[in-house]
Amino acid sequence: MSVGQAASQPRFGSENVRDMLRHGLITAVFCCLIAIALTITDGGGWAAHLVYSLSIGIISWLFIDTSRLLLTGHRDIRWPHGGWGYVLVAIGVTIGFLGGNLIGDAWTGAPAFDFMDLSGHKLATGVVITVATTIGMCFFFYSLGKSKHLQSQIDLAQRDATEARLKLLETQLEPHMLFNTLANLRVLITIDPPRAVAMLDRLNSYLRATLSGSRALSHPLSTEFDRLGDYLALMSVRMGDRLHYTLELPEDLRDTPVPPLLLQPLVENSIRHGLEPQVEGGRIVVRAHRDASRLVIEVSDTGVGLDAATAVPSSTPSSTQDSSGFGVAQVRERLATVYGERGRMSLAPAPGGGTCATLSFPLPA
């Protein structure tokens, strides 16, 4: 009667049983309506029409719905292929008609197989009503099941597209960070070889932790903060006392799932466009907190400020201009890909100078 669920769904799993019970309830309602219609048109007692109608409908429903699950096994489509579906409906109609009429005759006290009398209209009327109703109900349930199956395929395709998009964004972010670090390392090699070696060791540790991690679409917020700690330690080698940082993560938010590399681009921007332009450097603070049912993460710095950071001289190469907004754009895109309109990001001047980037998205239920 319907199109089934995923291939791993057992024949009589909870979801299939719920579908069967829903089909049975709808069938019973249709049988009641048929009994009312017959009472109005043909007269007679409503109770007798109800017994006949319910008996025929329930037997047909049980046979067809149970048989389709037994025949389809663990297939993706819970309906027999080809002509087997028509054979199943025909057998279900026959069994339902014969069995239901026998039950009805027994309940009303009529002779057994009285409905087979060809001289009257009872046989023709019963057959027409049974066939038309059963075929109509089968088509109705099949259409509902097919719609549900197609919707599940659409949802699966959308999830696959989202996964692919996140993977693409991640592969864009990691080389961007790596190129920036290698450029800084090149400068340190010539002016401060010991610090260059220390920075190379930190980079090696950071890449080992990053590459050994899984390519999952999300990881705990504590892992994201650990990555930030590794990255900031790496940057501290290059900037020395000019860089100070604080990471604040409440214990109850440590296991909250977030997309990988969500915060690092913002921290990288804070360093490159906020702290590095200042001779004295500055401080970066990354803190997470709960706001009702949403997670809020703030990345603030004491750098040159939003206006100064975004003001690029006209003589600056176009590649540098493009990279200045790379991290912010990627974070916005990752939020939109994972959370849609529920994910928000804002950039604003921080109290006392500098810039504050605020991310907000729903906590998992």
Same domain, 118 and 228: no
**Contact predicate 200/237, CB 8 Å:** no
Same domain, 204 and 342: yes
| Residue 179 lies inside a defined structural domain of this protein | no
The last residue of one of the domains, among 130, 156, 182, is 156
Tell me what pLDDT residue 129 has: 67
Tell me what pLDDT residue 302 has: 92
| Residue 203 lies inside a defined structural domain of this protein | yes
The last residue of one of the domains, among 156, 182, 215, is 156
Same domain, 40 and 126: yes
Q: How many domains does the chain have?
A: 2
| Residue 172 lies inside a defined structural domain of this protein | no
Of 256, 247, 200, 241, whose CA–CA distance to 226 is shortest? 247
Same domain, 91 and 198: no
| Residue 132 lies inside a defined structural domain of this protein | yes
Residue partners of 147: CB distance under 8 A and separation at least 6: none
| Residue 170 lies inside a defined structural domain of this protein | no
Of 323, 329, 340, 299, whose CA–CA distance to 169 is shortest? 329
Same domain, 82 and 215: no
Over its length of 365 residues, how does the chain's per-residue pLDDT go in tens digits? Answer: 444 444 445 666 677 778 778 888 888 888 888 778 777 776 667 787 788 888 888 888 888 888 877 777 555 566 666 677 778 878 887 888 788 778 877 887 777 666 555 444 455 455 666 666 776 666 766 666 667 666 666 766 666 665 666 565 555 545 656 776 787 778 778 888 887 887 787 777 777 656 654 456 678 999 889 888 888 888 887 788 899 999 999 999 999 999 887 888 899 888 888 898 888 989 999 999 999 999 999 999 998 877 655 543 333 333 333 444 556 877 888 788 788 889 999 989 988 788 999 999 999 87
Same domain, 337 and 269: yes
| Residue 186 lies inside a defined structural domain of this protein | no
Spatial strand order in the sheet of 344-349: 243-248, 282-291, 294-301, 355-362, 344-349
CATH number at residue 312: 3.30.565.10
Same domain, 101 and 50: yes
Same domain, 95 and 216: no
Tell me what pLDDT residue 169 has: 52
Tell me what pLDDT residue 118 has: 45
In this structure, what token pair is assigned to residue 24?
A: 């049975």
| Residue 343 lies inside a defined structural domain of this protein | yes
Distances (CA, A) of 48 to 101, 120, 238, 324: 11, 18, 91, 81
Same domain, 119 and 58: yes
The last residue of one of the domains, among 104, 129, 156, is 156
Domain containing residue 227: 192-362
| Residue 68 lies inside a defined structural domain of this protein | yes
Same domain, 141 and 89: yes
Same domain, 198 and 342: yes
Same domain, 209 and 277: yes
